Amino acid sequence: MTRIAIVTGGTRGIGKAISLALKDLGYTVAANYAGNDDKAKAFTEATGIATYKWDVGDHDATLAGVKQVEADLGPIDVVVNNAGITRDAVLHKMSFDDWNEVMRINLGGCFNMAKATFPGMRERKWGRIVNIGSINGQSGQYGQVNYAAAKSGIHGFTKALAQEGAKFGVTVNAIAPGYIDTDMVAAVPEAVLEKIVAKIPVGRLGQAKEIARAVAFLCAEDAGFVTGSTLSLNGGQHMY
């Protein structure tokens, strides 16, 4: 049986690696994106993975986007909530908009995607939801009250929904990546990033494909006993 998967923010960074890993394992993948249409088109041409544009922070757009994927590909079996943004600033410089956008997209996106897909998984008695949290939702991070709160919220969301899905064969898990070699981390000021990397025991940034491997494990047919868990992949930076 071919499983249908949606990866949000699935055309770049960690999301791209997840889309590719699931495709390689035989899933039919829809990669959601919110940004550049030309880049998404190039992604589809290079990978053969269909792309769908909507803002996961927009409730109605998410319901409509998922409906379109289902019309094109079939009922959704797997959701990877990966889409996320940063708006880093110390609290006294952070605007309400910086706070709200990060909460709306990073945490609200998980709710919107679950509303669009969880009821169907529950009815069909099989599903996999993997939410991408963060080391910074576990440990906090200077300059990230918005992001840390949203990612910490994702960890709570995961444990709550896991309890609702358990008897219906729907697992809900989180991954907490540390600092991964992506555009998001590259945007951290160089001097700050150097200090962060110096605190990673394995001595390097993680690779997106290392996160994708863990996501693939959680999505597998035989991973049905793993639910409500958070898998930390951070090079030993935070042992939790």
**Which of 52, 118, 126, 179 touches ligand CAA by CB under 6 A?**
179
180 CB-side CA count, 13 A: 25
Joined together, the tokens standing for residue 175 give 């991954």
Q: Is 86 in the site for ligand CAA (CB under 6 A)?
A: yes
* Shortest reach from residue 170's CB to ligand CAA, in Å: 25
Contact range with ligand CAA by CB under 6 A, out of 106-114, 122-130, 176-184, 208-216: 176-184
Q: Is 143 in the site for ligand CAA (CB under 6 A)?
A: yes
Helix (H, G, I), strand (E, B) or coil at 117: helix
Catalytic: 33?
no
**Angle (CA) 37 40 46, round 5°:** 145
227 close to 160: Cβ distance less than 8 angstroms: no
Binding mask 147-166 for ligand CAA (x = CB under 6 A): x-------------------
* Cα(67)–Cα(223) distance, integer angstroms: 27
**3-state DSSP helix/strand/coil % of the chain, to nearest 5:** 55, 15, 30
**Which of 8, 62, 76, 88 touches ligand CAA by CB under 6 A?**
88
Q: Is 231 in the site for ligand CAA (CB under 6 A)?
A: no
**Which of 14, 144, 138, 115 minimizes the C-alpha distance to 57?**
115
**Residue from 33, 147, 179, 240 carrying the catalytic annotation:** 147
184 or 220: CB nearest ligand CAA: 184
* Cα(157)–Cα(137) distance, integer angstroms: 12
* Shortest reach from residue 143's CB to ligand CAA, in Å: 2
* Shortest reach from residue 2's CB to ligand CAA, in Å: 31
Tell me the C-alpha to C-alpha distance, in Å, between residue 163 and each of 113, 151, 170, 213, 229. Answer: 17, 19, 9, 25, 11
Binding mask 52-81 for ligand CAA (x = CB under 6 A): ------------------------------
Residue of minimal CB distance from ligand CAA? 143
The single residue listed with the structure tokens 């958070």 is 230
* Cα(20)–Cα(16) distance, integer angstroms: 6
| Chain residues that interact with ligand CAA, rule: CB under 6 A | 86, 88-90, 93, 134-136, 141-144, 147, 177, 179, 184-185, 188-189, 192
Supply the residues annotated as catalytic: 147
